[in-house]
């Protein structure tokens, strides 16, 4: 799921708040998988990138900027 697929119900959190929550959840998942903080943050913010695919590449020693170039 990407941030664009999330919609706020009327009177609820704004689009920006939902995006921030989405990015935070992605960051936490990446951190739990042992991804270094800087890499996890960069990939979490790239909401169009599938984090499962990113983790597979990172675990094969692919640098995060290259991961983003490949998947982004």
**pLDDT tens column, 17-70:** 999 999 999 999 999 988 889 989 999 999 999 999 998 998 899 988 898 899
Which residues, 6+ apart, have CB-to-CB distance to 2 below 8 Å? 47, 48
Give residue 13's pLDDT.
78
Give residue 29's pLDDT.
94
Give residue 44's pLDDT.
95
Can you tell me the distance from the alpha carbon of 34 to that of 64, in angstroms, rounded to the nearest whole number?
Answer: 13
Prediction pTM value: 0.72
């Amino acid at each position: 799921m990407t941030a664009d697929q999330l919609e706020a119900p009327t009177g609820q959190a704004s689009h920006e708040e939902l995006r921030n929550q989405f990015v935070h959840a992605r960051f936490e998942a990446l951190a739990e998988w042992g991804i270094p903080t800087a890499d996890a943050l960069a990939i979490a913010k790239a909401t169009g990138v599938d984090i499962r695919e990113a983790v597979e590449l990172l675990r094969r020693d692919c640098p995060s900027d290259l991961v983003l170039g490949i998947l982004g």
